Amino acid sequence: MLEFNFSPFPTIETERLLLRRITNDDVNEIIELRSNTETMKYIPRPLVKTTEDALEHIAMIEEKITTNVGINWGITLKDNPKLLGIIGYYKMQPENYRAEIGYMLSPDFHGKGIIPEAVNKLIRYGFDDLKLHSIEAVIDPENLASEKVLQKCGFVKEAHFIESVFYEGRFLDKVVYSLLDK
């Protein structure tokens, strides 16, 4: 079975991006991202409404890192420390050598290739450093932008589950994409 160790925290660079640890200094950006109905449209989670909510969210991210059960990075441009988005591995399955990748980005930066750049780098990190065998992504079938990102990064559609998630009084579909280590 795989064992994950995120200490020291792995800061990751791409051509344009710095993927770094999220801290309490990012609280305003976390509020912006997670209170934005456009950003959260396809993420069945409660909106962050207050500074306290945002700090709790940051603490939850930090706890997953320190207990080695999941890892999130803040997405920033190399020349600007402002948090533009979040990307990470959730729902780690060490017994299956598998993890779920997820991401969100400020709408101001959509369409600039930032998420594919970050996802491609984290694919390599997942396979080369974490020794994963497969990576999955679970998306809303209506999230066509995310679907395009996954296809561009080599993921294939594995399943479409009909009304398999119950959230806020209604049933939602989910689509699972996956990528195997070659």
Q: What is the pLDDT of residues 52-94, one digit of tens each?
A: 999 999 999 999 999 999 999 999 999 999 999 999 999 999 9
Summarised one tens digit per residue, pLDDT across range 145-159 is 999 999 999 999 999
3-state secondary structure of 168: coil
Q: How far apart are CA 89 and CA 19, in angstroms?
A: 13
Q: Output the pLDDT for position 169.
A: 96
Residue type, 130: L
Q: Output the pLDDT for position 1.
A: 87
Task: Kindly tell me if the per-residue pLDDT of 3 is higher than 90.
Answer: yes
CATH superfamily of 12-135: Gcn5-related N-acetyltransferase (GNAT) (3.40.630.30)
Summarised one tens digit per residue, pLDDT across range 131-146 is 999 999 999 999 999 9
3-state secondary structure of 162: strand
Q: What is the mean pLDDT of residues 111-115?
A: 97
Q: Output the pLDDT for position 70.
A: 97
Task: Kindly tell me if the per-residue pLDDT of 4 is higher than 90.
Answer: yes
Q: How far apart are CA 75 and CA 106, in angstroms?
A: 10
**Which sequence spans correspond to the domains of the chain?**
12-135
Q: How far apart are CA 62 and CA 24, in angstroms?
A: 10
Q: Output the pLDDT for position 182.
A: 81
Summarised one tens digit per residue, pLDDT across range 19-52 is 999 999 999 999 999 999 988 999 989 999 999 9
Token pair 């997405």: residue: 75
Q: How far apart are CA 160 and CA 12, in angstroms?
A: 32
Q: Output the pLDDT for position 38.
A: 87
The tokens for 62 are: 């930090």
Q: What count of other Cβ atoms lies within 10 Å of the Cβ of residue 144?
A: 11
- Which has more pLDDT, 182 or 51? 51
